[in-house]
Amino acid sequence: MNWRAIATIYAAEMARTSRTLFQSVVSPIISTSLYFVVFGSAIGSRITEVQGVSYGAFIVPGLIMLSLMTQGISNASFAIYFPKFIGTIYELLSAPISFVEVVTSYVGAAATKSAALGLIILATAELFVDVRIAHPFWMITFLALTTITFSLFGFIIGIWADNFEKLTIIPLLIVTPLTFLGGTFYSLDMLPPFWQKVTLANPVVYLVSGFRWSFYDTADVSVGVSLAMIGVFLAVCIGVVAWIFRTGYRLKN
């Protein structure tokens, strides 16, 4: 394993965050604060508690999960797309480093930035509501698995995309709606039986539910199923990335 190459690419990607500080950090924090103001005040005044937790605190894990997924995809997709756009991807492909080292550095940087942002949002949430973490180890586990998985997913999108518009299509039209409909702002128990069954087809439900369990020891679905779902998604993403580098899909043309 070429650790010097990994460290070099990783450091370069982390340095890019300082040049886009407002977009990378400040903007998501402002958006999350607005969610607390709008949903916490407007809806929270009508729904005082959900599953024994105040509504403002109840939505915290879902908001963090929303940020982890969208920022993980955004950071990783742009990181690999930009070298393709300016043509420096060929220097990377011809360098004496393996695809494992390339993916580790880019995905590692994207996951680090997303995880740091998630923790900042958690600290921001403390300014609005009283947040408690019942299972700190599992909270960190879900946070790490989610950031790595969706950073890998973003890496795949960055390779697949052939213009800047495609970088935002999947996050905006698929991931964000699935997150909003995945129990971020409500419990599945609040839905009619038919829609509860329909909602279970949404994979984001299992991520949000498992992450919320680590905070408040309450979940809509089994924690084991939540871990299994994210494990499957992670394995699929790893398999797709391996296939991309083995075939050179949208890398060598």
* Residue-wise pLDDT tens digits, 216-248: 999 999 999 999 999 999 999 999 999 998 888
Position 232 scores a pLDDT of 95
Taking residue 167's Cβ as centre, other Cβ atoms within 10 Å add up to 21
Task: Calculate the average pLDDT of the chain.
Answer: 87
* Residue-wise pLDDT tens digits, 38-93: 776 666 666 777 888 888 888 889 989 988 998 899 889 999 998 888 888 888 87
Residue 4 pLDDT > 90, yes or no? no
Residue 144 pLDDT > 90, yes or no? yes
What crossing angle do the helices spanning 60-86 and 27-35 adopt, rounded to 10°? 150
Q: From CA 244, how far away is CA 238, in angstroms rounded?
A: 10
Position 240 scores a pLDDT of 96
Instruction: Tell me the residue ranges of DSSP E strands in the chain.
Output: 49-50, 53-54
